[in-house]
A and B are shown apart, each in its own frame.
Chain A
Amino acid sequence: QTVVTQEPSLTVSPGGTVTLTCASTTGEVTSGCYPNWFQQKPGQAPRALIYSTSNKHSWTPARFSGTLLGGKAALTLSGVQPEDEAEYYCLLYYGGAWVFGGGTKLTVL
Chain B
Amino acid sequence: QGQLVQSGAAVKEPGASVKVSCKASGYTFTNYFMHWVRQAPGQGLEWMGIINPSGGSTTYAQKFQDRVTMTWDTSTSTVYMELSSLRSEDTAVYYCARASWDLVPLFDYWGQGTLVTVSS
Chain A residues with a Cβ under 8 A of chain B: 1, 34, 36, 38, 40, 45-48, 51-52, 55, 57, 87, 89, 91, 93, 96-103
Contact = CB atoms under 8 A, between A and B. Distances in A.
Interface residues on B, range: 20 to 34
A52 B106 contact: yes
Interface in B40-56: 44-47, 50
Contact of B110 (A46, A52, A99): A46
Contacts of B50: 98
At the interface, is chain A mostly helix, strand, loop or mixed?
strand
B117 to A, nearest CB: 16
Contacts of A47: 110
A88 to B, nearest CB: 11
A55 B104 contact: yes
B107 A45 contact: no
